[in-house]
Structure 1
């Protein structure tokens, strides 16, 4: 499922295959920022308490600081059991290599915020406003 926001392009994805398929199509076209988070239950709450804490900060920073032409991918990494499997593809894919959620990355660049960094307003502003390394 995806939709376009007035300020930036947001794409919501569930699972590794949906993520890889989408990110490969977008590479090189625009700046792509990817937020990895735990899946949500029927009431819209993630099983991951750190993701619950970070989400409002990340979404606020995207609204305030993301470039208008950028793409924001919101990626559901799955349930707790899948995430905790050290062989899950989000952990083993050499282009992703996330070890903690939430994680926010700039695709094909060096910008990365992990865990509690995703709640830090100053770091989030720098993430979205500084140029690629």
Structure 2
């Protein structure tokens, strides 16, 4: 299994999303991972929950058997940008983000499963999202 990881910001998200998650069904497991921006001085994000969940999600994704996957990592911006109630991904009905990290499995043009910030680090919850993708 191979995992294609693509990074996106608010500025270039739509182009990446359309290319990777468009109408064609290529058989890949399609995942969105919304994360806080990384701090310039380190490889960590400004969000402690993201820093805990991210390595667990990658570990589980690498262990997914039998299917290729694409992971679109969407960075929500710095703290002030993210905290704005009018943040584009908060108000977008496709995503309706409430917190980061948020992991979404995308199938047939919509969210098939999701983990919000308070459970995105839980191994059994991640397994449930990824396991449903292998059916």
User: Normalising by the residue count of structure 2, what TM-score does the alignment of the two structures yield?
Assistant: 0.84
Q: Within 5 Å, give how 1:15-30 maps onto structure 2.
A: 15-26=9-20, 27=22, 28-29=24-25, 30=28
Separation in 2 of the partners of 1:59 and 1:94? 26
2:102 maps to what in 1? 103
Quote the RMSD (CA, aligned, Å).
Answer: 2.0
Taking structure 1 as reference, are residues 34 and 44 closer, same or farther at Cα in structure 2, changes over 3 Å only? Answer: same
Deviation above 3 Å: which 4+ runs of structure 1? 28-31
2:124 maps to what in 1? 122
- Greater helix percent: which structure? 1
- Deviation readout 1:30-77 (Å, 9 max, x if unpaired): 432000000011211111111111111111111112763221111111
- Deviation readout 1:83-122 (Å, 9 max, x if unpaired): 0000010101111111110000012132000112111101
Residue 10 (structure 1) aligned with residue 5 (structure 2): yes
Instruction: Name stretches of at least 5 consecutive residues in structure 1 with no aligned partner.
Output: 1-5
User: Normalising by the residue count of structure 1, what TM-score does the alignment of the two structures yield?
Assistant: 0.85
Q: How many matched pairs? A: 127
